[in-house]
Structure 1
Amino acid sequence: MTGLLVRRAAAADFAAVARLTVAAYEADGQLKGESGYAVALADVATRAASGEVLVAVDEATGGLLGSVTFVLSGTPYAELCGPGEAEFRMLAVDPAAQGRGTGAALARACLSRAAELGCSAVVICRRDGFAEAGQRLYERLGFVRTPERDWSPLPGVELLGLRLELPVATPVG
């Protein structure tokens, strides 16, 4: 998408990121009967203290289009990643901005960040039965299902594990 900038969220962005993330999850039907997760989604300051919250903004208007949380193994928000791996979570795109490449730009920013940090892979999970657009996006990016990483945080909530092996950097010289 042209005119899209992905950057690290500033504290001034946190309230807007919280509103957008909760709205995106609600629009997708993922928060029905799960008010506790809405609270976690809205706690952007804690996410930012534990990882990197990235935002996608429209360069022309400055409007927030989406956000994602990037984390490393051993940090509080890491659910699936092991040593040498990175993970991203809570990928959310404003329902009014969906279909413009925002989710792909945020996911690619996480993959780039993981590569910069020397990670061997990026792992994620997605909720079974939801976000079919997300499923297609992850397939296009090269993520593969890793059923051994599937898990359930609550009864009736099944999360499917996915992994993308990152290219090994070739030393210069």
Structure 2
Amino acid sequence: MRIRLAEDADLKVVADVTEAAYAEFTRGPDDPYIAHLRDTASRAAEAELWVGVDEDGVILGTVTRCPTGSPWREVSEPGEGEFRMLAVAPEARGRGVGEALTRHVLDLCAAAGEDVVVLSSLAEMSAAHRVYGRLGFRRLPERDWSPNPHVDLMAFIRDGRTS
């Protein structure tokens, strides 16, 4: 698998992959969060939208790194890295795509001097939590939060104590 920044021609496919990966965690086709998940143009312009592609160029997964100053940051503090919307196409699950994308983001954060990396995740996203645990993340309950009354997000952190 090769990891690269998403290009304009990728944005619809990235939106489709992200929506499909999150489908089991949304409240159906009318969930307003779906529009947010599909807003790949804003993520590409206001953050870093990365894709993992196979040898034929098929997009297998995606992740958004939220550098300092990005409006896509949610739980990070100054000097910390953050990423969001890790999504693996359902047909590509179990192939290490999510872990490879997460490792890539961790490398980008380290290169930017961000030795602490944080993220938010739904409690139901246990497969992602296993990846995060393998990569040294631990729970950060003091930063848990709710963007709306029906969504409770858990915070995770990777720092020098968990590397």
Would you say how many aligned residue pairs link Structure 1 and Structure 2?
Answer: 160
Q: Do 1:150 and 1:159's aligned partners in 2 also have CA atoms closer than 8 Å? A: yes
1:52 aligns with 2:48: yes
Q: Do 1:115 and 1:166's aligned partners in 2 also have CA atoms closer than 8 Å? A: no
- Determine helix, strand or coil for the equivalent of 1:133: helix
Distance in 2 separating the partners of 1:144 and 1:45: 31
- Determine helix, strand or coil for the equivalent of 2:66: strand
Distance in 2 separating the partners of 1:160 and 1:85: 17
Give identity over the alignment, percent. Answer: 46
| Equivalent residue runs for 1:18-167 within 5 Å | 18-26=15-23, 29-33=24-28, 35-59=31-55, 61-128=56-123, 130-165=124-159
Deviations 1:43-91, CA, capped at 9 Å, x for gaps: 10101111100000002x2111000100024320000111111111011
Aligned partner letter, 2:64? T
Distance in 2 separating the partners of 1:72 and 1:147: 22
Distance in 1 separating the partners of 2:42 and 2:110: 24
Higher CA-based Rg: 1
TM-score normalized by structure 1? 0.89
TM-score normalized by structure 2? 0.94
User: Which segments of structure 1 move beyond 6 Å, counting only runs of 4 or more?
Assistant: none
* Structure 2: tracts of 5 or more residues without a match: none
* Structure 1: tracts of 5 or more residues without a match: 168-173
Shift of 1:5: 0.6
1:10 aligns with 2:7: yes
Aligned partner letter, 2:127? A
- Determine helix, strand or coil for the equivalent of 2:25: coil
Q: Do 1:31 and 1:38's aligned partners in 2 also have CA atoms closer than 8 Å? A: yes
Shift of 1:166: 5.2
- Determine helix, strand or coil for the equivalent of 1:80: coil
Distance in 2 separating the partners of 1:116 and 1:127: 28
Shift of 1:131: 1.9
Aligned partner letter, 1:92? A
